[in-house]
Chain A
């Protein structure tokens, strides 16, 4: 088997992503989970860049690895979960069923993927080199997708107010 450089890079990033994502699930301490999640976001941003989605890769690091993870870490430290509590039974009926359901979903998705074949790339005229750049994404965002964009700004405002109200001790 001989790999091209892109394939080798992809394999490396894919293994790193899956490994750190598994650490998120496996770590006992939520802080370790959060740190593994930051690593996952960075590896995913690299994969996005490999897919020529440069703008989304930068946003992934800014918003996910930056803003959202800071929020997570703040909450973990605010709750000061020093005592993780009694571990409880490790294997319960609920957990076995949950694990089997996740595995079954994966098998179903793989079977679906095996039956699917990518279309040959046609490529719209004019998309070429601008694909995935801030210019191309921004151009679409402020013309055809302006209404959803404004709706998202409203959603963020509602979320901001809602978060303050919900977290307040007494309303």
Chain B
């Protein structure tokens, strides 16, 4: 199960709406071993694409060094789908490189940048296997 604050959920949703129709992406870091997302880190989608996302390579190095220095882990890795449901694509599964992370998918296909609910779901992706998990927002 993913336990996450309403504030962090809202931040992800805001980022996804702002970047629509491109995919938005980012990380929520948390203290190592706690499984608790705390620090919201929106990333630039270097692919600037409606169907693909990729963290910029130098931003990625900076992010991991920073988390290392703070003894943090990427508790949540999020991205948006802008025309399809909030379910990991085949590419998402193939490229998933953090077996300990909660992969959060949101979909802005219904309302785009306009107000309105956004589909928000969470998954574990380990060795090519996707498992959806409940999300507890508090």
A binds B: no
Give B residues with C-beta under 8 Å from A.
none
